Structure 1
Amino acid sequence: MNSVSLSLLIVCSLALAQAASWRQYEDYVESDEYVRPSWTHRHSEMWPCDVADYPAAHLLIHKVENRLDSIDNEQMRKNIVDYVVDRLRQCKTDEQMGEHCVKRSIGYAMSFISRHKRQYQQY
C-alpha cells in the first residue's frame, strides 16, 4: 500500500469517527440528561429575546459575555451590548439568524470591544 492510499485510509477513518461522535452528541443534547450551559440560556436582562432566542447567536453572545467580565464601566458595557445586538439584528432575515453572518460579526465585536477599552484607558 503506498503512502497516498494509507493517508486516504487514515483521513476517511478519522472522518467516520468524527461523524459518529457528532451523532452521539446530537442524541445526548436531545436527551433529558443534557444540561444546557448557562450561556445558552435564552432569557436575560442583558440580551433581548429577538436576538437571544436564536441558537446561532449564542456563540457571539458567549464570547462577548466573557469579554464583558473584565469591564467595570457600565456605560461601556451597555455600548458594547447595544453594538452586538445591532449586529445580531442585521444577521436576521425572514425570522432566521444567519450563522455565517454571526461568525463574521465575532471579529467586528471583538474589535469594537478592544477599541472601546483602549479609548477608556486613555481618559
Structure 2
Amino acid sequence: MNSTLVILLISALVLVQARNIRFSEEDNSSQVSHPHSVNWPCDVGHFPEAYILMHKVDKRLERIDDESTKERIGNYAVSQLKQCILDGQMDVHCVRRSIGFTMSFIHHQMSLANGM
C-alpha cells in the first residue's frame, strides 16, 4: 500500500514537472517571433487582443500615400493601444473602444490631407 502511494506521488510530480517544462518552452518560443506587422512596436504588438485594431489600421494605411499622415496615424494608434495595457495585460474592451477613436482620427487626418 505504501509503495503504491509513493509511486503515485512520484508519477504526479513527474507529470507536473513535465508540464512546467513544456509551458516554459512555449513562453520562450513566443518571445522570439511576433506575428504582428513591423509597423507596430513590440510593446503593443505582441498582444493578440491588439491585432484587430492593428489590422484595421494597417489596411487603412495601405490606401494612404503621405508618409507624415501615416506616421501621425500610427503614433495615434500606438498611443491608444498603450493606454489599454493594464498590469501587463491588454484590456480587450479598451481596444474595442479604441477602434472607433482611431477610425475617427484616420477620417479626420484624411479630411485634412484632402483639404476639406
TM-score, structure 1 length as denominator? Answer: 0.65
Pick one of 41, 44, 50 that aligns with 2:43: 50
User: Which residue number corresponds to residue 74 of structure 1?
Assistant: 67
Match of 2:108 in 1: 115
- Number of residue pairs matched by the alignment: 83
Per the TM alignment, residue 43 of structure 1 is displaced from its structure 2 partner at its CA by 5.5
Alignment of 1:88 with 2:81, yes or no, is yes
Helix, strand or coil for the counterpart of 2:60?
A: helix
Q: Answer whether contact 1:57 1:102 (CA < 8 A) is retained.
A: yes
The residue type equivalent to 1:105 in the other structure is S
Contact map agreement 1:80 1:113 (CA 8 A) in 2:
yes
Q: Which consecutive aligned stretches of 4+ in structure 1 deviate over 6 angstroms post-superposition?
A: none
Structure 2 gaps, min length 5? 1-33
Q: After superposition, what is the alpha-carbon deviation per residue over 1:89-110, rounded to whole angstroms, capped at 9, x for unaligned?
A: 0000100000000000000000
Deviation at 1:41, TM superposition (A): 1.7
- Deviation track 1:14-61 (CA, whole Å, cap 9, x = no partner) reads xxxxxxxxxxxxxxxxxxxxxxxxxx82351x1000000000000000
Gaps of 5+ in 1: 1-39
Change (3 A) 1:43 1:119: closer
Match of 2:96?
103
Residue 58 of structure 2: aligned partner = 65
Output the CA distance in 1 between the equivalents of 2:72 and 2:60.
Answer: 13
Give identity over the alignment, percent: 43
In structure 2, what is the Cα distance between the partners aligned to 1:67 and 1:43? 14
RMSD of aligned residue pairs (Cα, Å): 1.4
Instruction: Give the TM-score normalised by the residue count of structure 2.
Output: 0.69
Structure with the greater alpha carbon radius of gyration: 2
Q: Secondary structure at the match of 1:122?
A: coil
